[in-house]
C-alpha cells in the first residue's frame, strides 16, 4: 500500500495493497464523486497538487501532462507522496 496526502482536509489516506484511492476514500467515509469505477466517465477526477501519477484511465492522452487524476484507477507513479486537492 501507500499513503496519499489530502491537502484540503489535512488527512493522510492509507491505501491498502490492491485497493484504489477511491476505495480508500469510501472506506474512510470521505465524500467523493464517482460513477463507472473503470476510468471511462471522469466523475472521480481530482486535482493533483504534488507528485507524479501513473494514469490508467481511458480519458488520458499518453504523453500529455495534466494536473488531474481519476482516483478510481490511477495511482502514484513513484514512491513520493501524492498530494490531492481533496
Q: Which is nearer to ligand FES, 26 or 49 (CB)?
A: 26
The secondary structure of residue 13, as a DSSP letter, is E
Q: Does 84 bind ligand FES (CB under 6 A)?
A: no
What is the maximum span of the chain, computed from C-alpha positions, in angstroms?
Answer: 34
Near ligand FES in 22-51, by CB under 6 A: 34-37, 39-44
What's the min distance (Å) between Cβ of 24 and ligand FES? 14
Distance of CA 46 to the CA centre of its chain: 7
CA 41 to chain centre: 14
**Which parts of this chain interact with ligand FES (CB under 6 A)?**
34-37, 39-44, 57, 70, 72
Amino acid at each position: 500500500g501507500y499513503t496519499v496526502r489530502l491537502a484540503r482536509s489535512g488527512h493522510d489516506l492509507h491505501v491498502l495493497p490492491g485497493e484504489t484511492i477511491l476505495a480508500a476514500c469510501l472506506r474512510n467515509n470521505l465524500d467523493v464523486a464517482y460513477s463507472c469505477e473503470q476510468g471511462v466517465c471522469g466523475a472521480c477526477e481530482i486535482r493533483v497538487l504534488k507528485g507524479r501519477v501513473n494514469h490508467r484511465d481511458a480519458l488520458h492522452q499518453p504523453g500529455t501532462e495534466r494536473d488531474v487524476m481519476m482516483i478510481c484507477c490511477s495511482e502514484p507513479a513513484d514512491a513520493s507522496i501524492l498530494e490531492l486537492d481533496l
